[in-house]
Amino acid sequence: MPQPHKPLADRMRPGKLEDMVGQDHLVRSGSVLRKSLQSGRLFSMIFWGPPGSGKTTLARLIALYTQDPFRAFSAVTSGVKELREVIGKAETSYKLTGRPTILFVDEIHRFNKAQQDAFLPYVESGLIVLIGATTQNPSFEIIPPLLSRAKVLLLHALDREDIRKIYHRALHDKESGLGNVDLEVEVGALDHLIDLSGGDARVALNNLEIVVDFAVADERGRKIITLKSTEEALTRKALPYDKDGEEHYNVISAFHKALRGSDEQASIYWLYRMLMAGEDPLFICRRMIRFASEDIGLADAQALVIALAAFEAWEKVGPPEAELVLAEAALYLASSPKSNALYRAEKAVKAEIEESGAQPVPLHIRNAPTSLMKKLGYATGYLYPHNYIGAWVKQEYLPEKIKNRTFYTPTRQGMEKEIRARMEERKRKK
C-alpha cells in the first residue's frame, strides 16, 4: 500500500535485488551474494561504501529473500543492552523455527572493541547472521576476530547516470513515487539536482521532494520545476560549468596552472569550483597524478605518493569526507618545489628513439645465460658496481651511437638539487 506520509527516499527503496542501482557486481546473477541467497546458506558480511549507496536497502532485501527474522539497529543510538534484547529474541525465534536471525547493524564502526566483541559468540554459534554497514575502512574500524568471520562487500559510489535513473523512477512511479503529480522538470533543474546529490541516493531523493513541495502549481495545477526554483528551494546556486564543454577545460586548466604557479589559494579555489559543480573527483585526481610527475617530478617524489593516495581515498571513502583529502593533495602539490626535468627527459628520449631507431644493446651489459652467448661476448667486461667503493664504477650503459646524449637534466629545486649534485660528481669521476 502507498504511504504518502513517508519520505520519498524511504518509499522508493527497491523491492527486489534487480532494482538496485549501481551495485550490479553484488546483485547480478552468479555473484557471491546471489549464490548465497539461492543456496540458503547466508554468511555474515560487512557492507563498506559511501553514504546513500544502498547498504541498508541491500540488507533489507537480503532479509526479504531469505524470509529469516530480521532485526536492525544503529550503533549511534544502541549499545550492548539493546544487543542483549535482540539476542534474547533471536534465541526464542531459533527455538521455534531453527532459523538464524539476520542482525543488521548500521554504522557498526561506531561500536568500540568491547562492544564488537559481544557479537562474536552469536556469530560463531550461527544464532545470528551479522550484516554490518560502514562508511569507514573495515580493516581499521572492525576488530580482526569479527572481520575474519565476515566477508567484506564493497559498494560503489553512485555515478551521475545512476542518480539520473533513480530520479527517472521516482518521477514516473505512480505507486511509491511522484508519478501521480502533474510535474515538468526542466533539464537544467535535473542536472543541478544530480550535481547536488554527491552520489548519495538518499540526498538525491530528499532534495527532489523538497523541490517539488516548494514548487507552486500554475492555473492548470501543473508544477514546473525550473533551475531557478530548484536553486531557491535548496538555497544552492548552480555554478556555470559544462562538464563536456569549454568551461570544463577552462577550469581544469586554471587549476593546473595555479598548481604549477605555486598559488595555494587559487589551487584550492579552482578545486572546489569543480567539486561543487559536480566534476568527477577521480578526473581531478588523475590530473593531479599527472601534475605530480610533469611539474614536480623528482624535485619532491612524495608529491606522486600524495596524489595517488588522494585517488585511493576517494575510491574508498567517497564524499563528503574525501573532499578534504583532495584539498590536502592540491595544497601539497601547489606548495612543492617545481621541476619539469622529468617531462623534458621524456620528450628528449622519445625524440632520440624516433630519430636513431632501435640501437643494439652493448654486449657487456647483455645477459649471458648460455655458453654460446658467452662465446659471442655477451656480458664480457661487465663491471659489477657493488664490487666498487660507493657501488659505482665508470662504465657505459648507452648504445655506442648515442653514448654522449643527455636526456635528464635535474634542476636545483628541492630533491633534484641533491640528484644534480650526485650526477655532477659521477660526471667528474668519468
Q: Which of 189-193, 216-220, 271-275, 344-348 has the lowest mean pLDDT?
A: 216-220
- From the list 140, 134, 71, 80, the residue with the least C-alpha distance to 107 is 134
pLDDT, tens digit, for every residue of 42-69?
A: 899 999 988 889 999 999 999 888 878 8
Q: What is the pLDDT of residue 195?
A: 83
Q: What is the pLDDT of residue 114?
A: 84
Residue with cell 584539498: 327
Q: Which helix (H) or strand (E) holds 168?
A: helix 160-172
- From the list 191, 204, 155, 190, the residue with the least C-alpha distance to 12 is 204
Identity of residue 325: V
Q: Do β-strands 128-134 and 151-154 pair in parallel, antiparallel, or remain unpaired?
A: unpaired
Q: What is the pLDDT of residue 240?
A: 56
pLDDT over 70 at 3, yes or no: no
pLDDT, tens digit, for every residue of 236-259?
A: 555 555 555 566 778 888 999 999
**Cα–chain center distance at 25:** 16
CA distance 253 to 269: 13
pLDDT, tens digit, for every residue of 261-292?
A: 999 999 999 999 888 877 888 999 999 999 99
Q: What is the pLDDT of residue 320?
A: 78
Going by pLDDT thresholds of 50, 70 and 90, the confidence category of residue 205 is very high
Q: What is the pLDDT of residue 350?
A: 92
Q: What is the pLDDT of residue 241?
A: 54
- From the list 37, 98, 26, the residue with the least C-alpha distance to 65 is 37
Q: What is the pLDDT of residue 358?
A: 87
pTM: 0.57
Which tops the pLDDT comparison, 288 or 113? 288
DSSP character for 296?
I
Are the C-beta atoms of 10 and 206 separated by less than 8 Å?
A: no
Which tops the pLDDT comparison, 242 or 422? 422
pLDDT over 60 at 124, yes or no: yes
Q: What is the pLDDT of residue 257?
A: 94
DSSP H helices, 237-320, are 246-260, 264-276, 281-291, 302-316
Using CA atoms of 93, 99, 105, 111 in order, give the dihedral in degrees to the nearest 10.
Answer: 80
For the segment 301-322, the average pLDDT, to the nearest whole number, is 90
Residues 6+ apart with CB under 8 A from 299: 336, 337, 338, 339, 341, 411, 413, 414, 415, 416
Give all domains of the chain, ordered by start, each with its CATH number: 23-154 (3.40.50.300), 160-234 (1.10.8.60), 246-335 (1.20.272.10), 359-429 (1.10.3710.10)
Is the C-alpha dihedral spanning 316, 317, 323, 324 positive or negative?
Answer: negative
3-class state of residue 226 by DSSP: coil
Q: What is the pLDDT of residue 197?
A: 85
Q: What is the pLDDT of residue 74?
A: 81
For the segment 145-172, the average pLDDT, to the nearest whole number, is 92
DSSP state letters, 402-430: GTT-------SSTHHHHHHHHHHHHHHH-
> Using N-to-C axis directions, what is the helix angle for 321-335 and 302-316, rounded to 10°?
170
pLDDT over 70 at 1, yes or no: no
Question: What's the chain's average pLDDT?
Answer: 88
Are the C-beta atoms of 101 and 89 separated by less than 8 Å?
A: yes
pLDDT over 80 at 2, yes or no: no
In percent, the amount of the chain with pLDDT more than 90 equals: 43
pLDDT, tens digit, for every residue of 77-93?
A: 777 788 888 889 999 98
In percent, the amount of the chain with pLDDT more than 70 equals: 96
pLDDT over 80 at 76, yes or no: no
